[in-house]
Amino acid sequence: MEGDAGKTRVMVTGGSGLVGKAIEQVLKEEGPRRGEEWIFLSSKDANLMDVAETRAVFQKHRPTHVIHLAALVGGLFKNMKENLSFWRSNVHINDNVLQTAHEFDVQKVVSCLSTCVFPDKTTYPIDETMIHNGPPHDSNFGYSYAKRMIDVHNSCVFCVAEEETALQVWGSGRPRRQFIYSLDLARLFLWVLREYNEVEPIILSVGEEDEVSIQEAADAVVKALGFNGEVVYDTSKADGQFKKTASNAKLRKFLPDFSFTPFDKGDVVASNVMVSAPSKNNFSRFQAMGVAVTQSNQEVAQISRLVFLAVKPHLIPIVLGEILQHITPQHIVVSVAAGVTLATIEGMLPRGSRVLRLMPNLPCMLQEGALLLACGTGVTEDVASLLKNLLSPCGLVEVGPESWIDVHTGVSGSGVAFAGPRCSDYTRWKKEGSGQPSLEPWRQLQNERENSGADKKRTHETGP
C-alpha cells in the first residue's frame, strides 16, 4: 500500500484500546483534515513484540506519521506480580515500533507515556523535566522504566535525525588520541589470558607514532560514510585533555612482531557479513572466515542494510519476492545480475528504493579489479560514495551510466574464457600516471559496439 506524494498517512498502534478508539471517534465526528488517511491497528494486525511482524505492517501501510499507543498494561496487582514481563514486553514493543519508524523515514511519532514514569520520591507538582530524577515506585517498576525508555529512544534517534544535514564535532578537533582496532584488541586480550602471567599491568595500545587528532578521526568517519554535508567544529565545547599518549614498549618486549591494523584501513569485519545460499555446500568456507551463513534470504534482508544480489538473472524475481516485505527506505540493494536493468529491479521493490547495479571484472589480464557502478533513481551521491569507498579495496571503482554495464559485462564479466579485448593493445590497460588503471577501453568499446563482430575476432580466448 503505497503513499501518494504529499499525503499524510497516520498509523495508530493500539488503535483498539481506550485512547485509540477515542481518537477514531473524534475523527468520525469532526472529520480528518484534507489529505489525511488514518489506519488504526489492533493486536490482530500485528504482534508488535515481533520485529518481523512490525516491519511487515509498516511495509503494508507505509505511514508518514505514527501515534504509538500499543502497550502491555495491567492493574496494580498484575504489575506487582509480573514486573519482569511488563518490562520485557513493553521494551520489545517500543523498540520495534520506534526503530522501524526510523527505518521507514516516518516524519513524526507521538508516543503515550504515563504519570507512573515519574520518580516515587519527588516534589509536587511534577513536570516534564522530572521524569529521570529518580526510580519510579516499585509496584510498577518494569512498566514504568519501559515507558521511560521511549523518552530515551526519542532523544537518541529522532533528535539526531533532525540534525543530520551537518556533522557537529564538539571541540576544536586538535586533541590527539591513540585508536586501536577492536579485533587487534581482542587478539591481545586472548594473548594476555593465555600467555601473560605477570601480576603487573600491561598497556595494550598502538605506538606513540600512531596518534591521530580528533579532526583526523572525524575526517575518517566522513570518508567512510560517504558524508557530503558540512562538518562543524563547535569550539564552545571543551576539548578535554589534549593528549593521553601511552607507551606500548612493554607490550613490544613480549610481542615485537605484532601487527596493528592501520587507522585508515577500511576493512569490513567478517562478523558483520551474512551470506545466504540454498545449499550448505560452501558454508564451511565462509564460516572459516568468520562470516555468518544462512539458508534464508529473508534473514539477510532483516539483519543487513546493504544487500548484494549475487544470483543468476532468472532468479532475481524469486529472491526479490522473498525479501520484499523486509526492504525499507534504509536499505541499499546492489545487483550483480547481468542483463537485469535498474528499472526492472526498482519495479519489483517499494517506490523510492535505493538500487544500484554492479559489474566486477575478472582481473586475469589487468591483475587488478575494475568495477563499474550504475545508480538507480533513488540513489544519492552520498550512497554512491559509500559504495565506492566500500569496494575500493577491490581496485578501481567507477560510477557511470547504465549503458556502460553491458559493455563491461561483455568485456570482463562473461567468464574466464575472455581475458580481455585486443590483447595487442594491452598497454592501454596498464596503470597510468594517476596510479589507477584506465577505463578508457570501456568508453571506447561503447562507441564501437556496432563493430562488435570485429572486436570478437580480436578477443583472446583462454579456455574452451
Give the residue numbers annotated as catalytic, written as ranges: 143
SS3 content of the chain, % helix, strand, coil (to 5): 45, 15, 40
Phi and psi, residue 273, nearest 5°: -115, 140
> Which residues partner with 442 through β-bridges?
none
Q: Which residues contact 293 (CB under 8 A, 6 or more apart)?
A: 274, 275, 276, 277, 280, 283, 286, 287
Whole-angstrom distance, CA of residue 26 vs CA of residue 29 = 5
Give the torsion sign (CA, 95, 101, 105, 111). negative
- Alpha carbon of 261 to those of 6, 219, 246, 264: distances in Å? 48, 18, 17, 8
Cβ atoms of 408 and 371 closer than 8 Å = no
Half-sphere exposure of 453 (CA within 13 A, CB side): 1
Whole-angstrom distance, CA of residue 394 vs CA of residue 403 = 22
Give the torsion sign (CA, 126, 132, 135, 140). positive
Q: Which one-letter DSSP state was computed for residue 396?
A: E
Whole-angstrom distance, CA of residue 4 vs CA of residue 363 = 46
Q: Which residues contact 154 (CB under 8 A, 6 or more apart)?
A: 98, 109, 111
Sheet holding 306-309, edge to edge: 306-309, 332-335, 354-359, 369-375, 395-399
Which cell numbers hold the place of 83? 514486573
Element (H, E) at 455: helix 452-457
Which cell numbers hold the place of 327? 526492504
Cα 259 to chain center, whole Å?
29
Whole-angstrom distance, CA of residue 308 vs CA of residue 300 = 10
Cβ atoms of 214 and 174 closer than 8 Å = yes
